[in-house]
Amino acid sequence: MAGNEPSIIAFTCAWCGYPSAVLAGVNRIEYPPGVNIVRVMCTGMIEPAYIMRALEYGADGVVVVGCLMENCHYMVGNKRAQERAEMLRPLLDMMGLGAGRLRTEWINASERVRFAAAMKDFSAALKEMGPNPLGRCDDDAGGGEAGQ
């Protein structure tokens, strides 16, 4: 799996993102195993630093999955997350990582097909982009300890 399968950190909110992933499971809808789901209460709690950390640790891509806009369980957390992602993307380009490594998906808790499709699509796009130039965190030359 580690070979050429892109590794993805999928931040999913507890109210829509995570349940949609669970439902994808219940309905046995396949998506690539490189997707690692991290459950957070709200996408609004994902600091830009978390996204940067994930990339620094070697994730090929980061996707933030939260409630539909206008329907955030915490009112506007997803809007904040969207704003942050929009700020980060040009920065990723500047750093040479590529803005395409960060995505946001706003989907309803019941939209399991959409969840799986989004993961498949992202994984395919990342495969096209090639691996994260920073490498995995426990590679000898990798980042990991940098930062803070």
Partner 1 sequence: MENGGSSAGKGRVGVHLCTCRGEVARHLDLDRLAAELTVDPAVAYVKIDSELCAPSGQEELQKTHREGRADRVLVGACTPNIQGLIMRSALEGAGLNKYLYEQVNLRELCAWVHADREAATDKAVRLMRAAIARALMLEALEDIELKVVPEALVIGGGVAGMQAALEIASRGFTAHIAERTGALGGRAYKLSVTFPTHNCGICCMQYCRECVLTPKVEDVMQNPRIKVHLNSEIEAMEGGFGDRRVVLKTPSGREELRVGTIVVACGSDVFDAARIQEYGFGLHKDVVTTMDLERMLEQEREIGGRFVKPSDGKSTPRTVNFIQCVGSRDRVKGNLHCSLVCCTYAIGQAREIKKLSPTTEVYVHYIDLRGPYRGFEEFCEQAKSEGVLFVRGRVAEVREKKGRLHILFEDTDLGRTVDMPTDLVVLAVGQEPARGSDGIARMLHLQLDQDRFIKDLNPNFPSEYRRGVFVAGCAEGPKGIRYSIEDAKTAAAAASDLMAAGKIKKTRAIAVVDEARCRGCGKCEEACEYQAARVVEKNGRRVSVRDEARCEGCGVCAAQCCNRAISIKHNTRPQMEALMRQLLGRKGKARGEGA
Report the interface residues with partner 1, using CB under 8 A.
Answer: 1-2, 5, 7, 9, 19, 21-26, 28-33, 36-38, 40-42, 44-50, 53-54, 57-59, 71, 73-77, 80, 84, 116, 136-139, 144-145, 148
Contacts of 45 by beta carbon, 8 Å cutoff, 6+ apart: 77
In the complex, least distance from residue 126 CB atom to partner 1, rounded to whole angstroms: 14
Q: Which spans in 15-96 are helix H?
A: 17-26, 48-56, 77-94
DSSP summary character for residue 72 = B
In the complex, least distance from residue 95 CB atom to partner 1, rounded to whole angstroms: 18
Beta partners for residue 75, in sequence order: 72
Identify whether the C-beta of residue 33 lies closer than 8 Å to the C-beta of residue 144. Answer: no
Nearer to partner 1, 98 or 144 (CB): 144
In the complex, least distance from residue 22 CB atom to partner 1, rounded to whole angstroms: 4
